[in-house]
């Protein structure tokens, strides 16, 4: 009975990219319209009452006699039009990234400006409150509704639905790398269903994955038909000459099958990438990361203002924690430790003491035991015997990190950045890992919001280096918000 129900459900799901996109975008149209009608008409009734007064005109247009109901209808229609014109429901912006929200904001601001210009030219005296409330409130509600849809879409994509069916084409090493990264990010909407690699081996799977090898580079079209893929992602391969790439693009069905080229360069965020076609060549410009100038000034100003505000708000909490530590275990309230910061310079980091006072001397003995957490570089135990009862609570909610806000005020740390390492860890770093010291270490960072103690050392390094290369103030705000959610969920905190 269950298998029949599952089969019926799967049969009702969209099968191709065009199918799922048409279904999903039609739902967005409906909810966008409902949101705008609710907001614009609601503001009209709330601001002007049920007996909406006629809009007042000056000059030769006073005889038009338009009322606010007609104006509301025009605004809703125009708003829906600009959302479509700006591509806010395009398949390439749905589900991941901030482009969808940026397009909605851009379209709404442009419409607001257009309404202002038209009102001035036609000498139309619209109630200022009606306009000034409807537009920002409408924008906020549009973004909120899209966010709800995005949560639903990500849940569907975790189940393999509402995603592009991808066939990977390229060398085995590059294809395997791309496949593993896409498997980690199902919310991106790319579900890998097969691969074509330059080898005589047909059948089997890519190393370390469940993705089948469907053929060689010579039978991509047959593999597309066999896997029912609608998207081809081409990775690096010496066998793929420009002529073969061009012929592959010609052989794809327009509108139903899509071609994506994945360069070998990875861990680069969108703002650093610019595509510029030159003489038929799609050149990708990647900006070199900079670690000075006004970006650093803005980051330091943000750190000071935010950390000072947090210290003021959380001072009663920190006082209660200090009292609790003093009353429940012998020893100092704060724990001081030398860490390595920006430029490889040592600094004194402090946090609330969550362990017994002789914790460092017990470390060598515990290293010899089997561990159920941490990684090759970082020592972690889920049930570390050195942790005090109150320390376990503090670590679970990351409250032991609060004194580091004073490190931020002193300038040795930032709110967001790579994890501050011990000198003993730095001595075992590979050369490329030293790029972590190009920015200040942070109280939180990508490593904390992406798994914390559950991450391998390689994953932690990659996340820290990605942050170093691509950090921005907007990204810092997003990480701080994700940190709050990670702390509440208590995942990976020991």
DSSP letter for each residue of 291-333: -STHHHHHHHHHHHHHHHHHHHHHHHHHHHHHHHHHHHSSS-S
What was the pLDDT predicted at 366? Answer: 62
pLDDT averaged over 10-residue windows placed end to end, the chain, 494 residues? 38 56 89 93 75 49 60 89 91 80 92 84 72 87 93 89 88 85 85 84 75 84 87 81 82 82 71 69 70 81 93 92 88 88 90 79 60 53 74 85 93 91 83 86 85 70 84 87 77 53
**If residue 153 lies in a helix (H) or strand (E), which one and from where to where?**
helix 128-158
Residues in the chain: 494
* Angle at 91 (CA atoms; ends 85, 96), nearest 5 degrees: 110
pLDDT at 58: 47
Dihedral pair phi/psi, residue 442, rounded to 5°: -120, 155
User: Nearest CA to 481 among 290, 226, 306?
Assistant: 306
Per-residue pLDDT at 52:
53
Structure token digits, residue 336: 């001081």
Distance of alpha carbon 262 from alpha carbon 166, whole angstroms: 13
pLDDT at residue 291 in the model? 67
Q: End-to-end distance of the chain based on CA atoms, in angstroms?
A: 43
Strand partners, 283: 276
Evaluate whether 125 touches 142 at the Cβ level (below 8 Å).
no
DSSP-based helix, strand, coil % in the chain, nearest 5: 55, 15, 30
Report phi then psi at 285, rounded to 5: -90, 125
Domains of the chain: 2-158 (no CATH), 164-264 (3.40.50.720), 294-489 (no CATH)
Q: Which residues pair with 275 in a beta bridge?
A: 284
How many CB atoms are located within 10 Å of the residue 341 CB?
Answer: 24
The torsion of the CA quartet 293, 276, 92, 166, rounded to 10 degrees, works out to: -110
- Please give the Cα distance from 447 to 467 (Å, whole number): 9
Q: Which segments of 150-211 are extended strands (E)?
A: 164-169, 190-196
Among 97, 103, 73, smallest CA distance to 85 is for 103
């Amino acid at each position: 009975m269950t298998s029949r129900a599952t089969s019926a459900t799967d049969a009702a799901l969209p099968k191709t990219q065009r199918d799922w996109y048409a279904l999903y975008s039609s739902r967005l149209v409906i909810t966008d319209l409902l949101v705008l009608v609710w907001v614009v008409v609601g503001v009209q009734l709330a601001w002007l009452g049920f007996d909406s007064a006629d809009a007042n005109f000056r000059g030769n247009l006073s005889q038009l006699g338009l009322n606010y109901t007609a104006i509301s209808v025009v605004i809703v229609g125009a708003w829906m039009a600009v959302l479509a014109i700006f591509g806010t429901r395009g398949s390439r912006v749905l589900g991941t990234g901030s482009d969808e929200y940026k397009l909605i904001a851009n379209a709404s601001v442009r419409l607001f400006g257009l309404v202002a210009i038209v009102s001035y030219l036609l000498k139309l005296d619209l109630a200022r409150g009606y306009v000034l409330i409807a537009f920002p409130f409408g924008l906020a509600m549009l973004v909120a509704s899209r966010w709800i849809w995005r949560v639903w879409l990500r849940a569907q994509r975790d189940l393999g639905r509402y995603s592009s069916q991808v066939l990977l084409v390229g060398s085995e090493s590059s294809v395997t790398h791309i496949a593993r990264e896409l498997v980690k990010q199902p919310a991106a909407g790319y579900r890998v269903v097969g691969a074509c690699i330059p080898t005589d081996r047909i059948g089997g799977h890519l190393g370390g994955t469940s993705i089948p090898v469907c053929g060689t580079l010579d039978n991509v079209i047959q593999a597309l038909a066999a896997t029912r893929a609608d998207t081809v992602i081409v990775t690096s391969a010496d066998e793929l000459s420009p002529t073969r790439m061009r012929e592959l693009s010609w052989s794809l069905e327009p509108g139903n099958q899509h071609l994506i080229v994945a360069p070998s360069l990875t861990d680069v965020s969108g703002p650093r990438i610019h595509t510029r076609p030159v003489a038929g060549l799609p050149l990708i410009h990647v900006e070199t990361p900079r670690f000075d100038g006004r970006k650093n000034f803005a980051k330091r100003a943000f750190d000071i203002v935010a950390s000072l505000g947090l210290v003021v708000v959380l001072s009663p909490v920190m006082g209660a924690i200090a009292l609790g530590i003093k009353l429940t275990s012998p020893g100092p309230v704060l724990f001081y430790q030398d860490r390595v910061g920006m430029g490889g310079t040592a600094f004194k980091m402090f946090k609330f003491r969550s362990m017994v006072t002789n914790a460092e001397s017990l470390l060598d003995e515990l290293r010899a035991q089997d561990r159920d957490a941490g990684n090759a570089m970082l020592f972690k135990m889920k049930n570390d015997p050195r942790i005090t009862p109150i320390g376990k609570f503090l670590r679970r909610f990351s409250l032991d990190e609060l004194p580091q806000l004073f490190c931020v005020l002193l300038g040795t740390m930032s709110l967001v950045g790579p994890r501050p390492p011990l000198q003993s860890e730095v001595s075992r770093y590979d050369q490329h890992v030293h790029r972590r010291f190009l920015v200040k270490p942070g109280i939180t960072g990508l490593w904390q919001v992406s798994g914390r103690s559950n991450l391998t050392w390689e994953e932690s390094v990659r996340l820290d280096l990605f942050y170093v290369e691509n950090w921005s103030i907007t990204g810092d705000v997003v990480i701080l918000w994700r940190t709050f959610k990670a702390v509440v969920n208590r995942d990976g905190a020991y």
